[in-house]
Amino acid sequence: MVTIDRPPANALDPALLHAGADVIDELRADPPGAVVLTGTGAFFSGGADLRVVPDLPPEEQADLTRVFNVMFAGWYHFPRPVVTAVNGHAVAGGLVLALCGDYRIVGRSGRFGLTEVKVGIPFPSVAMAIVQGEVTPPVLRRLVLRAELFDAATAHALDLFDEQVDDDRVLDRAIAVARDLASHPKGTYELVKLRLRAGALERGRGQFGGADAAARAIGEASTAAKKVLDPGSE
């Protein structure tokens, strides 16, 4: 269980992003059967902390974008099942984080959308690759270009989430799904997930500079995907 706990909105500031990247490294070193990712209070996550991010000097903003990419890539390509228990509002980077789940469960409350174009914050490269891979083009246009916010029922109907339950059942249901996914053969699950997301791997790889840590991670995963898809490749 990984819980985003930075009240009131679980907004993503530099310290929280670095801590999140560290958690992924720890889990990769000793992978669990599955991971449930959730928030606290009324928010899953409100995305980047707009009280902090716009005032950062350029070099710190560049580092923040890099860490965003590392964290998104880390969850999206995590080798074990990831279930997102979306307990409340998930906006901007918070919704991208929710979309990293292999299975996504939402309650009845909250608002959901990608508001980056409204607040003047460009999408990190991996974030765009993830939403392109997980959202149908007509819905993607509404989310990205119009920055629409949807209620939970509409977000579920638009396939942003796989399942909707009462608010007080979100976490229990996510744990049950995670246990079920964890029962699948480990090696097979990892290979199938790699094949499923091979296209997003390539998109993310192409949008990075070569020195970026996430670029290296995506490059390694992309190479592994190619070997899975074409065992004769080098």
Burial-class residue 134 by CB neighbours within 10 Å (0-12, 13-18, 19+). buried
Hey, is 160 helix, strand or coil? Answer: coil
The pLDDT of residue 87:
97
* Options 26, 60, 116, 202, the catalytic residue: 116
Phi, psi of 106 (to 5 degrees): -125, 155
The pLDDT of residue 124:
83
CATH of domain 2-183: 3.90.226.10
Query: Is 116 part of the annotated catalytic residue set?
Result: yes
Residues 54, 102 contacting (CB under 8 angstroms): no
Residues 123, 116 contacting (CB under 8 angstroms): yes
Hey, is 191 helix, strand or coil? Answer: helix
Per-residue pLDDT of the chain (234 residues; tens, 9 = 90+): 999 999 999 999 989 999 999 999 999 999 999 999 999 999 999 998 888 887 888 888 888 888 888 899 999 999 999 999 999 999 999 999 999 999 999 999 999 999 988 887 778 888 999 999 999 999 999 999 999 999 999 999 999 999 999 999 999 999 999 999 999 999 999 999 988 988 766 665 555 444 344 444 444 444 444 444 444 444
- For 60-75, give the DSSP string: HHHHHHHHHHHHHHHH
Residues 40, 3 contacting (CB under 8 angstroms): yes
Burial-class residue 55 by CB neighbours within 10 Å (0-12, 13-18, 19+). exposed
132's enclosing H/E stretch is: helix 125-134
Hey, is 16 helix, strand or coil? Answer: helix
Count Cα atoms within 13 angstroms, Cβ side, for 36: 20
204-208's contacts with Cβ under 8 Å and 24+ in sequence apart are 204/69, 204/73, 204/125, 204/126, 204/129, 204/130, 207/125, 207/126, 207/128, 207/129, 208/69, 208/125
